[in-house]
Amino acid sequence: MNLSRRVVLALLAGGVCLLPGGTCQAQNQQSTADSAAASASAPLPKDVYAESRNRLPLPKREDVSDEDKTIFDEMTRHSQHPLPRLYDPPLARPMSEAGYYLKNETGLPSRLMEIAVLVTARQLDCQFEWTQWENDGRNANDPRHIEQSTIDLIKYNKPVVGLGEKETAIVAFGREMLGDKKVSSATFADVLRLFGPRLTVDLVELMAGYSACAPEMRAFDQQLNEGQTPLLPPGRSHAYVKVKSSAVPPAAGPLPADVYPESRNRLPLPKREDMDNYGKAVFDELTHKPELPSVRLYDPKVAKPLAEAHRYIRYEAGLPDRLVEIAVLVTARERDCQYEWTEWEMHGRDPSDSRHIEPGIIDIIKYDKPAVGLGEKETAIIKLGRGMFGEEKVSSAAFAEVLRLFGRRGAVDLVELMTLHTATAAELTAFDEQLPEGQKPLMPVR
């Protein structure tokens, strides 16, 4: 599967501050053209490999175990450029299965998929994904072809006018889910009316998956294809701006009007009797898995591989529980995900839980304090996560430290663990997942 077309799951907001038109936009477009020309001709960074165009050399078949060679062969059969995640083939397989299904088998029209991915790439300032998908969207022979005016509307964050109902709903949905980190009841209701529960879940998982591409590519410093001109204007979105605050929101009041009490989100619990035989088998397998939000079971074909990826990275990748805890807390804090933060802080503070960590580490992450006085690995994970999600990029020094401490496979596992949980954060935002009844939120607001 080509790197420019993958979905990385587990799944920041971006955009340039431009007026809808006029001189300001023209000046910014000229600036974009100038910087793009310079970028296309710039030499690769010193720590980027020419063959992979990122910070890791291409994975090699001879370096994986005999039992993993089958997966390696399966996933490289149609590609000469293995993905970084193939440093851990058992993780790569379910993630790629989920990505393939979401892109090719859900029934979401190609045109709408193009819009969904462009909105995601724009909101997350993901130059690599934007450039690949804008090229697809411009190609009149590609089924994903859309009007240049629609591309520009997304590219320059213009008001959503003149589009069809479904196109308008997707743009508004993506901007709120990934940019505002809050989807209004009206916007979600519109998406649900137009797509129904299953395709709404598929749309959320598609966008959540692509929302994980930006931090992953930031970690590996993925470069554009040789000679390719970047097409996304420079700039950062308001979602990256951190406003310091020590306030913690009050305990939740009554549930929002569009949230179901039994699921505590915007969709009722999926029912086994509504599924076909395959769905029933997946339902039976996964309903007792705590890592799987039940809403995904509206589409069992996406629920199963995502559950397998989460289960593998959590229990089988070999990352110690305390380091998993730190990685997920950093992700939840940087993504301002109250649900994930509160759940994982409770694990971290429980002395009987294998994920227990010192309260001082929790507070360093919780209040954005400098990562000092910690062990080497704990410090490296915090710096990696802050670079992936909250800063311009992961520095060469920060990635080199992760590589030294964890090796290539461990570094890939860490990155994928955090990107899986950022995808989860986007999903929880879309469905307005509420904390368990009576649970006090523990993450300070920004």
The model's pLDDT over 46-87, given as tens digits with 9 standing for 90+, comes to: 999 999 999 999 999 999 999 999 999 998 887 666 789 999
pLDDT of residue 390: 84
What single-letter amino acid sits at 311?
R
Instruction: Please state the separation of Cα 69 from the chain's center in Å.
Output: 28
pLDDT of residue 242: 53
Q: What are phi and psi of 54, to 5 degrees?
A: -145, -170
Count of CB atoms situated within 10 Å of the CB of 90: 17
Query: Measuring CA to CA, how many Å separate 124 from each of 81, 215, 273, 363?
Result: 25, 9, 38, 27
| DSSP per-residue codes, 255-320 | PPTTSBTTTTBSSPPP-GGGS-HHHHHHHHHHTT-TTS-GGGGGSHHHHHHHHHHHHHHHHTS---
| DSSP per-residue codes, 231-262 | -SPP---GGG--------PPPP-SPPTTSBTT
Separation between Cα atoms, residue 146 and residue 139, nearest integer Å? 8
Separation between Cα atoms, residue 207 and residue 210, nearest integer Å? 5
Q: What is the pLDDT of residues 256-284, one digit of tens each?
A: 999 999 999 999 999 999 999 999 999 99
pTM of the entire predicted model: 0.88
Which residue stretches of 175-276 are H helix?
185-211, 213-220
What single-letter amino acid sits at 15?
G
**CATH topology for the 3-24+44-68+77-240 domain:** AhpD-like (1.20.1290)
CB distance 297 to 270 below 8 Å: yes
Predicted confidence pLDDT, tens digits, the chain (446 residues): 333 333 333 322 232 222 223 323 333 444 444 455 455 567 999 999 999 999 999 999 999 999 999 999 998 887 666 789 999 999 999 999 999 999 999 999 999 999 999 999 999 999 999 999 999 999 999 999 999 999 999 999 999 999 999 999 999 999 999 999 999 999 999 999 999 999 999 999 999 999 999 999 999 999 999 999 999 998 655 444 554 444 556 565 799 999 999 999 999 999 999 999 999 999 999 987 554 458 999 999 999 999 999 999 999 999 999 999 999 999 999 999 999 999 999 999 999 999 999 999 999 999 999 999 999 999 999 999 999 998 778 999 999 999 999 999 999 999 999 999 999 999 999 999 999 999 999 999 87
CB distance 222 to 21 below 8 Å: no
- Joined together, the tokens standing for residue 284 give 């039976």
pLDDT of residue 237: 56
CB distance 117 to 133 below 8 Å: yes
pLDDT of residue 416: 97
pLDDT of residue 207: 98
Domain boundaries, the chain: 3-24+44-68+77-240
Separation between Cα atoms, residue 174 and residue 180, nearest integer Å? 9
The phi-psi region of residue 227 (left if phi > 0; otherwise alpha if psi is between -120 and 50; otherwise beta) is: left
What letter does residue 265 receive in the DSSP assignment? B
What letter does residue 223 receive in the DSSP assignment? P
pLDDT of residue 66: 92
Count of helix runs (H) and strand runs (E) in the chain: 16, 0
